[in-house]
A = this chain, B = another copy of it.
Amino acid sequence: MADRPSEFALIAKLFAPLAQTPGAFGLRDDAALLPQLAGHDIVVTTDALVEGVHFRGDDPPASIAKKALRANLSDLTAKGAEPAGYLLALSLPAHIGIAWLESFARGLEADQKTFSVPLLGGDTTATPGPLTLAITALGHVPAGTMIRRAGAKAGESVYVSGTVGDAGGGLALLNGEGARLGKNQREELIERYRVPNPRLALGLALRGVASAALDVSDGLVGDLGHIAEVSRVRIVVEAGRIPVSPALRTLWGSTPEAVVRAATAGDDYEIAFAAPSERAVMDAAKRAGVPVTRIGRVEEGCGVVLTGADGREIPVPRAGFTHF
């Protein structure tokens, strides 16, 4: 192996404090142990992030760490699962030094406290390519209560948490757009791009309330398309109801084009879902302390459409990419 033993011993020391849960064995075993929680199923998800594809090389290391972890926690929470731990596979180019890794580990440590989720295990390797990390997150749901993508039914309403498109706006700012935007709004949008906020409390509150859900990582319209496809229904989203933040409105305006752009931008990590009872949804949102907006409806048919104030369809370029 072309790896660098002495540096990797340092890394092990750096990450061991993140693995204080008994089943992680201080990262000093081949595998971790997740004790069973009676009456619960395990929910598990993995996401890889690549420098230059999913984050910028000049993003702060703590932000990269948080974004990677939160993207996975977001997948769990959209399924109604409570995070139980995660594993980290890290492929490090030679230019990554200990200072960078310390900052990265501090980012993970802060988020582990925020979300009460321990590091269970991992693997570090060298790479001649860009920094690449894969996180696998595990969670528990009471048996049979996982919220799937399949399950939306005609007649139900469609909802999304928070606001849509902010992370896309943040990325646009980093790429040179919006020079006239004020400092506070700039920072607000860039922060949403760099450090998403998985809606953990809402995910738990939506158990038994949402008929289908996912987290919006590839754009609202494209992701709702996944629900429509797997649930075999048609989803109609009213453009005028899509929640857009004041900062994003300042950046992109309020034209139909701006709404389309917000609804196809990635990395929101809000929860989009269908549910039969608006009252149950609003109760869940209140319990979770997370704003939720009704944005459309489920019909018989297939596909997802965005409609304007006149009820006519707004054309949407086919967005994004695909997790398999």
Contacts and interface: CB of A to CB of B under 8 A. Distances in A.
Interface size class for chain A?
A: 35 or more
A110 interface: no
Contacts of A185: none
Interface string A13-51: 001100000000101111111111101111111111110
Interface string A186-218: 000000000000000000000000000011001
A76 B30 CA distance: 8
A46 B123 contact: yes
Contacts of A127: 50, 53, 129-130, 132
A281 B153 CA distance: 57
Contact of A87 (B31, B121, B132, B136): B136
A241 B119 CA distance: 39
A235 B127 CA distance: 33
Interface in A89-142: 89-91, 120-130, 132, 134, 136, 138-139, 141
Nearest to A266: B1
Q: Is the interface of A mostly helix, strand, loop or mixed?
A: mixed
A29 B148 contact: yes
A158 interface: no
Contacts of A40: 36
Contacts of A2: 52-53
Contact of A124 (B28, B90, B128, B324): B324
Given A128-B130, A129-B129, A148-B29, A87 B46 contact: yes
A179 interface: no
Determine which residue in A44, A53, A319 has the highest number of CB atoms from chain B within 10 A of its CB, and name it.
A44
A75 interface: yes
**Lowest 5 A-B CB distances belong to which pairs?**
A129-B129, A3-B321, A134-B134, A31-B45, A48-B89
24 contacts: A1-B322, A2-B52, A2-B53, A3-B322, A5-B318, A5-B321, A8-B322, A29-B148, A33-B146, A34-B42, A35-B41, A35-B143, A36-B40, A44-B136, A46-B136, A48-B123, A50-B126, A50-B129, A89-B89, A89-B134, A122-B323, A122-B324, A123-B323, A128-B130
